[in-house]
A = this chain, B = another copy of it.
Amino acid sequence: MNEEIVLGSQECVRSLAYVGDALYVIGGKWKLRVIIALREGNKRFNEIQRAVEGISARVLSNELKELEMNGFVKRIVHTKAPVVVEYQVTSYADTLKDVLHALSDWGEMHRNKIRREW
């Protein structure tokens, strides 16, 4: 039951490439946070901006475009009476569930550790 602890060389090489690929699309300061905000439910532009603290309109606009291009988010324009634009996570974004959970859990643990140390 110990062979799980140390990665084999092959696994390491593959893992390096895969994590590289992952970071390429979901890396950066904001992408995952925007996705998290939208997983709570569809949101309009300004709602996202309020939810994701610190993001500027310009940056959010860019992130949404990239997220849409990569299939994580869908932009929905309601053409009925009051024209409303809202953003929705796609089912592909759901595939990130484990990543988000793992990162969130680890972040929580880490924050507590840091607080204890200071």
Interface residues of A (CB under 8 A from B): 5-9, 11-23, 25, 27-29, 32-33, 36-37, 39-41, 51-53, 94-96, 98-111
Contact = CB atoms under 8 A, between A and B. Distances in A.
13 contacts: A7-B40, A8-B40, A12-B39, A14-B108, A15-B100, A16-B37, A19-B32, A19-B36, A20-B33, A27-B28, A98-B105, A99-B99, A101-B102
A105 B100 CA distance: 13
Nearest to A108: B18
Nearest to A98: B102
Contact of A21 (B14, B23, B25, B111): B111
Contacts of A104: 14-15, 18-19, 22
A17 B98 CA distance: 17
B32 A23 contact: yes
B33 A19 contact: yes
Contacts of A51: 12-13, 16
A23 B103 CA distance: 8
